[in-house]
Each structure stands twice: as C-alpha cells, then as structure tokens.
Amino acid sequence: MATIKLWFGRQNFHLSKSFLLLKIIAVVFAVLLFCEFLIYYLVIFRCNWPEVKIRGYDSERETLEPVLKAMFLADTHLLGKVRGHWLDKLRREWQMERAFQTALWLLQPEVVFILGDIFDEGKWSSSQAWADDVERFHKMFRHPHHVQLKVVAGNHDIGFHYQMSTYRIKRFEKVFNRERLFSWKGINFVMVNSVALEGDGCNICSEAEAELIKISHKLNCSREAHRSSQCGDGQLLPASAPILLQHFPLYRRSDANCSGEDAAPPEERGIPFKERYDVLSQEASQKLLWWLRPRLVLSGHTHTRDWVYTNQTRVCFCPFPKSFSNSYML
C-alpha cells in the first residue's frame, strides 16, 4: 500500500510540474503575442481619417468631398552591413514592418510617401550591400498594387552634397522613381531632391534647379484662367497649389518655438540649426517658396515634428521614431 501511494504521489508531482510548465509557456506566448503583434492594432486602431464635408447647392444637404488618403513617413534608417548589428536590425525591422503593415490594413491609404533617409548606409554601401538593403525594404514595406508608394531621397540614401554622385542618385532612382511631379485626385505633389539644393552651381544642383523651374512653369500655367501661348497645348495640371515633399526642412533658426508630443526635447530646442546640414539654406528655401508657391510643405531629417506657417504655406517637419506615421486626408 505504501508503495502504491508513493507511486501516485510521484505521478501527481510530475503532472503538477508539467501543468505549471504549460502555464508558463502559455503566459509567455500570450505576452509575446500581445507585445509583438496585437499592440500595433490596438494603438493604430485609435487613428482615423478626418471626414471632409462641403455644403450642397441647396445649403441644406451635405455631401462628401472626394479626398485622397495619404500616409507620410520619414527617416526609417534601415540599418546596413557596417553599422547594423544583426539583433538590432532584426528587432527594429520587425517593429517597423508590423507597424507599417498594420497601418496599411487598418487605415487603407491610397498613397504612401517616404520623405528620405530610407536607408542608413546608402551613402557608402557597396552594390551588393545596397541590393541586400533594397530587398529587405521591399519585404518590410510591401503593399497592395492599388496602393502607390512614392519616395524622395535623403542624405543617408545618396550622401550629403559633398558625397552625392550621379551614380548614387541613379542607383536610388532605379529602385524607386525619378518622378518629381505627381498629381492625383486634383492634388499636385512636387517631390524634391533637397540634397541637390546646395546652390553652388554643381552639375547635379543645376539640373535639379532647372527641373524645378520647369515644374514651376507647369504649375503657373495650371493657375491661369486663360492659357497663354507659352503654356503650349499639353495637358494642364489640376489648378491647385502643390504640396512640397522633401527630406531637408525649409530654413528655420531653431526649434525654439516648437512644442508637442514629437517636438525636440526642451533642452535642444534653442540650439541653432546649421544651414545646408540641418536645414536648407535661406536662399534655397526662398527659391522653393517663390517657384512653387506650395500650400503645404512636408519634410523629415530632424526626427522631430513641428508646424510652421510661412505666409500662406503650412510647413510640417515629420518624424519617424516616436510617431510611426503622419496620416492626412487631402
């Protein structure tokens, strides 16, 4: 009898131990599922598109205005072969992929813009390292065919002005696009290679400015009530002020007047910005505003967010790290 009791006791002990182990595994699995998958849905589910309404002709009926759902990202900085540890890359890229894919599924934007510094080491990566980084980018930021993805170059993609070369620019444009003017649903977007706005007369800079002047001419023609002979017979753009997309922000002295959740820390807001490094030069900024007369300017680079009003232009500096995206109904 004592032997039988001892045997049953051992069996119960093993069963309790196995059950405890299963509970621990279940808890760990539930925590991982929540923290690495479900949390993205819970956070992004709180975001929604604003509803834009206009009055009908009878002043009593309200109708929905056709709008474009656009999502803007900046400074994803996919780590490369030189500075990226495999574990750090794995962690960061999983978070970015889950956040992006969840946002696509819940918000269903029609177009996604990335405002430069897609990669961290594009300015010096070899051909093979570049190809590997591009492959990872396409995996992380995969999207349905009906969603358009538009990208502008940043200094980490093609280098600062002194590092920039025709080879790096063409390599970038071969993967993404060379499109500078994009119109959809009556909205004009101008995508600028802001790295090339150094203003020193180099070949790349001169070509970039000449291209912007041509775009300015097209936009001016679209605003004219009666087409002039200089506009030609080509198809006109929508008659609306454009939205300017670039990596470097327009010139501002500092973030001293900035506040909000994604603004720079208080101790850093008074630090002066360096022209042609932190922000565009005053001259380049004035040229862009004069040539294009945009209604909205969106940029990245500083990793902080702020809104600035310049005459009739609203300027936003969009971060990536703290808030995954800025989504707008345009």
Our count of domains for the chain comes to 1
**Exposed e or buried b for every residue in 228-265, given b needs 16+ CB within 10 A?**
eeeeeeeeebeeebbbbbbbbbbbbeebeebeeebbbe
CB 274 within 8 A of CB 220: no
Q: What is the pLDDT of residue 258?
A: 76
Q: Is residue 36 part of a domain?
A: no
Q: Is residue 89 part of a domain?
A: yes
Please tell me the least confidently modeled range out of 134-143, 282-291, 294-303. Answer: 294-303
Q: What is the CATH number of the domain that holds 205?
A: 3.60.21.10
pLDDT (mean) for 121-136: 93
pLDDT band at 51 (very low <50, low <70, confident <90, very high): confident
- Examine the pLDDT at 74 and tell me if it is beyond 70: yes
pLDDT (mean) for 57-79: 75
Element of type H or E holding 170: helix 166-175
Q: Is residue 138 part of a domain?
A: yes
pLDDT band at 304 (very low <50, low <70, confident <90, very high): confident
- Examine the pLDDT at 231 and tell me if it is beyond 50: yes
Give the whole-number percent of the chain exceeding pLDDT 70: 80
The better pLDDT of the pair 238, 2 is held by 238
Beta-ladder partners of 244: 190, 297
Q: Is residue 242 part of a domain?
A: yes
CB 48 within 8 A of CB 305: no
Mean pLDDT of the chain: 83
Q: Provide the residue type at 138 as one letter.
A: H
Tokens of 173: 């444009």
- Examine the pLDDT at 217 and tell me if it is beyond 80: yes
Q: Is residue 32 part of a domain?
A: no
Q: Is residue 29 part of a domain?
A: no
Q: Is residue 270 part of a domain?
A: yes
- Examine the pLDDT at 327 and tell me if it is beyond 60: no
- Examine the pLDDT at 1 and tell me if it is beyond 70: no
pLDDT (mean) for 138-165: 94
Q: What is the pLDDT of residue 167?
A: 94
pLDDT (mean) for 154-180: 92
Residue-range definition of the domain harbouring residue 106: 53-224+235-329
For residue 176, the tally of other CB atoms under 10 A from its CB is 17
Q: Is residue 73 part of a domain?
A: yes
pLDDT in tens, 286-296: 999 999 999 99
The pTM for the full model equals 0.84
pLDDT band at 54 (very low <50, low <70, confident <90, very high): low
In Å, what is the CA distance from 8 to each residue of 5, 16, 17, 127, 203?
A: 5, 12, 14, 67, 87
pLDDT (mean) for 160-185: 92
